[in-house]
């Protein structure tokens, strides 16, 4: 199967750089997706994607894998909260935070709640980005289900959500802290002067070269002393190469 040709077509058509992904894993996944849909060649699949908007969306959802939840790995969020209180907030009244690859917004809104708890008078700015514009629209609406908020403390649910039918709506004061924007971690420029960058459960899909470039760019985007918070399976073994020191298991400090 000519997946290289498919990758070139996807880059041209969707602006998504599949060669950045771990190729064996990606090829296995695309092959099994095609089998599930019932197409037997790349040409047939491209023809289907050209004419069927639903299949295009299904393909994009499949590639981007947007599984998320509030306070994913709650104990690590507790750790982050302690670091914010001990390291960043004593010196900065307003933190500039980036939630990179934020999916439906559960991650940046979790950060908003934490900041509101520990620094209610701060003027914090959370920029939340993702490659997927459909998901960003969902994030802006701020409507969640019970499974999305299963890790949220009971007192936070009553403080920061309104129940509407079987949905939970995030409160306006937390919404106001977050600005959503489309951004591709592989192809787009990075902003800088961040106090905290949170990037979890996305670089795991990328190959080592792309990961190196992303960590290098995160380091350049952070202020000295700023923190990088990664996913629970994403320890960076060569963090020194990017100018970081270890602040705790999944948090790195820019030197």
Ligand X SMILES: C[S@@+](CC[C@H](N)C(=O)[O-])C[C@H]1O[C@@H](n2cnc3c(N)ncnc32)[C@H](O)[C@@H]1O
Interface positions with ligand X (CB under 6 A): 64-68, 72, 101-103, 107, 130-132, 135, 184-186, 200-202, 231
User: Is the CB of 39 or the CB of 190 nearer to ligand X?
Assistant: 190
- For ligand X, the closer of residues 14 and 243 by Cβ is 14
- Using CA atoms, how far apart are residues 20 and 226, in angstroms rounded to an integer? 27
200 backbone dihedrals φ, ψ, rounded to 5°? -130, 135
| CB-nearer residue toward ligand X: 6 or 92 | 6
User: Could you tell me the smallest distance in angstroms from the CB atom of residue 136 to ligand X?
Assistant: 9
Q: Which is nearer to ligand X, 83 or 200 (CB)?
A: 200
Nearest to 231 by CA among 90, 58, 3, 76: 76
Say if strands 167-170 and 161-164 run parallel, antiparallel, or are unpaired. antiparallel
The distance of closest approach from Cβ of residue 37 to ligand X in the complex, given in angstroms and rounded to an integer, is 20
Closer residue to ligand X in complex, CB, 119/201: 201
Closest CB 15 distance from ligand X, rounded Å: 10
Please state, in angstroms and rounded to a whole number, the distance separating the CA atoms of residues 97 and 226.
10
b/e for 151-176, b at 16 or more Cβ within 10 A? Answer: bbeeebeeebbeeeeeebebbeebbe
**Residue 193 three-state SS:** coil
State in angstroms the smallest separation of the CB of 68 from ligand X.
3
Taking the complex as a whole, the smallest distance from the CB of residue 168 to ligand X amounts, in Å, to: 17
């Amino acid at each position: 199967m000519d997946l290289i040709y498919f990758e070139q077509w996807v880059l041209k058509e969707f602006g998504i750089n599949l060669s950045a992904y771990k190729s064996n894993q990606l090829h296995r996944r695309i092959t099994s997706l095609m089998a599930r849909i019932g197409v037997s060649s790349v040409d047939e699949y491209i023809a289907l994607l050209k004419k069927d908007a639903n299949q295009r969306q299904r393909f994009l959802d499949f590639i981007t894998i947007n599984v998320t939840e509030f306070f994913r790995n709650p104990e690590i969020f507790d750790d982050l909260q302690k670091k914010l209180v001990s390291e960043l907030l004593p010196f900065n009244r307003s933190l500039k935070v980036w939630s990179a690859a934020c999916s439906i917004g559960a991650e940046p809104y979790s950060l908003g709640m934490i900041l509101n708890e520990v620094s209610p008078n701060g003027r914090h700015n959370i920029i939340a980005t993702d490659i997927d514009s459909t998901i960003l629209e969902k994030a802006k609406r701020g409507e969640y289900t019970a499974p999305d908020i299963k890790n949220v403390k009971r007192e936070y649910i009553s403080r920061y959500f309104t129940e509407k039918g079987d949905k939970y709506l995030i409160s306006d004061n937390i919404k106001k802290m977050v600005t959503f924007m489309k951004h591709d971690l592989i192809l787009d420029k990075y902003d800088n002067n961040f106090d905290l960058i949170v990037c979890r459960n996305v670089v795991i899909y990328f190959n080592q070269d792309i990961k190196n470039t992303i960590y290098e760019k995160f380091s350049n985007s952070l202020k000295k002393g700023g923190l990088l918070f990664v996913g629970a399976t994403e320890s960076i073994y060569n963090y020194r190469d990017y100018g970081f020191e270890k602040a705790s298991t999944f948090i790195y400090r820019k030197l």
